[in-house]
Amino acid sequence: MQTLIQNGTVYTNGQLIPADVLITDQTISAIGAHGAFHGNYDHVIDATNQLVTPGLVDVHVHYRDPGQTQKETIKTGSKAAAHGGFTTVGAMPNLDPAPDTPERVANMVKRNQNEGVVHIEQFATITTGRKGDELVDFAGVKKAGAFAVSNDGSGVQTAGTMYQAMAGAAKAGLPLAAHVEDNSLLFGGVMTESDRSKELGLPGAPSVSESSQVARDLVLAKATGVHYHICHVSTKESIAMVRFAKQQGVHVTCEASPHHLLLSVNDINGKDTNYKMNPPLRTEADRQALIDGLKDGTVDMIATDHAPHTVEDKPADFTKAANGITGSETAFCELYTKLVKTGIISLTKLLDLMTAKPADLFNLHNAGHLEPGKPADIAIFDLNNATTIQEADYESKGINTPFTGDRVFGATVMTLVDGQVVYQRKED
Ligand SMILES: [Zn+2]
């Protein structure tokens, strides 16, 4: 079976070039100039005026399955990923039961393979049940197929547990991805303590609840040699410390979410709880520090923290609504429209942050690169025509995002996984 993607602009080897891409069965077999390939192909895809990229990589999604399948399932979550142009994702372990033993991890790996339409890498937890101080069997969960460990959803509260977890993860060769949040510094806050929280009369949590734990962890990461990855980094202090730690040779990476890069406390009106997430939206100065971090390489990758909820979980009361918003289906078009089209970062930079960087830094050898010999995981985007983000188009069960209604460029035209079409835009 051979498929030719012709006449597109192809992102390969860090560059955008006019090229045709030939796929044989599940693999990219050749890349050549426009018109270079002649033959009787089973399938010809015309990508004239379109961008052809490696399938995007998102190391932070929540699929709620098992445990809360009313919010999302492996199937619907992965279809949402495909809609957004993602072909490899990292699924967080805040599930019920949580993948905290080799058997449970092996079961999730099998289910992800059978039920997902994209490649789903599985996180194991750091501690049993994602709470307390009892560490999981790191060597065992790695052998069972976990690609990293995380307690995402909450921070590891004590330094002693984090120190031992890092030592164990380092020994097993597993990256440790940390949700950084010191519960003793939250003070019941539902948004970032700021002028805006005072204006709205909402309880605020100081942003040091994140950055103080980053400070602790960077010291511990240096002492243990672990690959320490910070999930959804969000404060200017965290960015400054990561920048410094990298200079000191600490093996630290971090991700920023589209919402923290595009929104701030100023966007919160107190009623639309699609602006409530954890970490919460920060100040404009924090947002600017994240952008600076993208530009100078302090921020290594973009990850969505796709967190679907039911409508009932997101009532208009900011103090009661669940944290989190969906992200898979809006990430690329939002970032392209608001960061690239505005000239803040280049298209190649955005693509690097969403393909090669996350794949390489998490040792996902089959992801993130559009090159001969690699799996035919490819996304095709329309950069020239504006579309409106609509609820009706979501593949996720969750519609909880503040980006609905936005007029954007960069809609996904098609997504292929192992040479098979897993998403195709409906023609109007
Ligand atoms: Zn988190």
Please write the tens of the pLDDT for every residue from 293-325: 999 999 999 999 999 999 999 999 999 999 999
Instruction: Look at residues 314, 329, 361 and tell me which one is the last residue of a structural domain.
Output: 361
Q: Which residue has the tokens 């949040």?
A: 181
Q: 197 and 252 in one domain?
A: yes
Average pLDDT estimate for 5-10: 98
How many structural domains compose the chain?
A: 2
* pLDDT for residue 116: 98
* pLDDT for residue 119: 98
Average pLDDT, the chain: 98
Find the 194 Cα to ligand 1 centroid distance in Å: 21
Task: Give a yes or no: residue 400 inside a domain.
Answer: yes
* pLDDT for residue 390: 97
- Between the two ends of the chain, the Cα-to-Cα distance in Å is 29
What's the CATH code of the domain at 11? 2.30.40.10
Contacts of 195 (CB under 8 A, 6+ apart): none
* pLDDT for residue 412: 98
Find the 178 Cα to ligand 1 centroid distance in Å: 8
Find the 288 Cα to ligand 1 centroid distance in Å: 21
Instruction: Look at residues 335, 361, 387 and tell me which one is the last residue of a structural domain.
Output: 361
* pLDDT for residue 97: 98
Average pLDDT estimate for 161-189: 98
Percent of the chain past pLDDT 70, that is, above it, reads 100
Q: 265 and 394 in one domain?
A: no
Q: 47 and 133 in one domain?
A: no
In this predicted structure, the answer to whether residue 259 has a pLDDT above a threshold of 70 is yes
Find the 248 Cα to ligand 1 centroid distance in Å: 26
Find the 177 Cα to ligand 1 centroid distance in Å: 9
Find the 151 Cα to ligand 1 centroid distance in Å: 8
Average pLDDT estimate for 330-357: 98
Give the residue numbers of the binding site.
Answer: 60, 62-64, 94, 152, 179, 232, 278, 305, 309
In this predicted structure, the answer to whether residue 242 has a pLDDT above a threshold of 70 is yes
Task: Give a yes or no: residue 367 inside a domain.
Answer: no
Please write the tens of the pLDDT for every residue from 98-116: 999 999 999 999 999 999 9
Q: How many CB atoms lie within 10 A of CB 393?
A: 15
Residues of the domain holding 220: 55-361
Q: 419 and 308 in one domain?
A: no
Task: Give a yes or no: residue 41 inside a domain.
Answer: yes
* pLDDT for residue 427: 74
Q: 14 and 148 in one domain?
A: no
Alpha helices in 120-182 (DSSP H): 138-143, 159-172
Q: 299 and 403 in one domain?
A: no
Q: 351 and 205 in one domain?
A: yes
In this predicted structure, the answer to whether residue 360 has a pLDDT above a threshold of 80 is yes
Q: 402 and 345 in one domain?
A: no
Of 279, 284, 325, which is closest to residue 304 (Cα–Cα)?
325
Active-site residues, by number, are 305
Task: Give a yes or no: residue 370 inside a domain.
Answer: no
Q: 16 and 93 in one domain?
A: no
Find the 419 Cα to ligand 1 centroid distance in Å: 32
In this predicted structure, the answer to whether residue 428 has a pLDDT above a threshold of 70 is no
Tokens of 217: 């962890």
Task: Give a yes or no: residue 366 inside a domain.
Answer: no
Q: What share of the chain is helix, strand, coil (3-state, %, to 5)?
A: 30, 25, 45
Query: What is the distance between the alpha carbons of residues 417 and 428, in angstroms, rounded to a whole number?
Result: 24
Find the 282 Cα to ligand 1 centroid distance in Å: 15
Q: 402 and 289 in one domain?
A: no
Strand, helix or coil at 292? Answer: helix
* pLDDT for residue 299: 99
Please write the tens of the pLDDT for every residue from 40-49: 999 999 999 9
Strand, helix or coil at 363? Answer: coil
Find the 132 Cα to ligand 1 centroid distance in Å: 17
Average pLDDT estimate for 258-281: 98
Q: 266 and 187 in one domain?
A: yes
Tokens of 72: 């999302």
Q: 66 and 27 in one domain?
A: no
Please write the tens of the pLDDT for every residue from 29-84: 999 999 999 999 999 999 999 999 999 999 999 999 999 999 999 999 999 999 99
In this predicted structure, the answer to whether residue 4 has a pLDDT above a threshold of 90 is yes
Strand, helix or coil at 413? Answer: strand
Average pLDDT estimate for 121-134: 96
What's the CATH code of the domain at 308? 3.20.20.140
Q: How many CB atoms lie within 10 A of CB 15?
A: 9
Task: Give a yes or no: residue 331 inside a domain.
Answer: yes
Instruction: Look at residues 322, 338, 361 and tell me which one is the last residue of a structural domain.
Output: 361
Task: Give a yes or no: residue 369 inside a domain.
Answer: no
Task: Give a yes or no: residue 368 inside a domain.
Answer: no
Find the 188 Cα to ligand 1 centroid distance in Å: 17
Give the residue numbers of the binding site for Zn(2+).
Answer: 60, 62, 152, 179, 232, 305
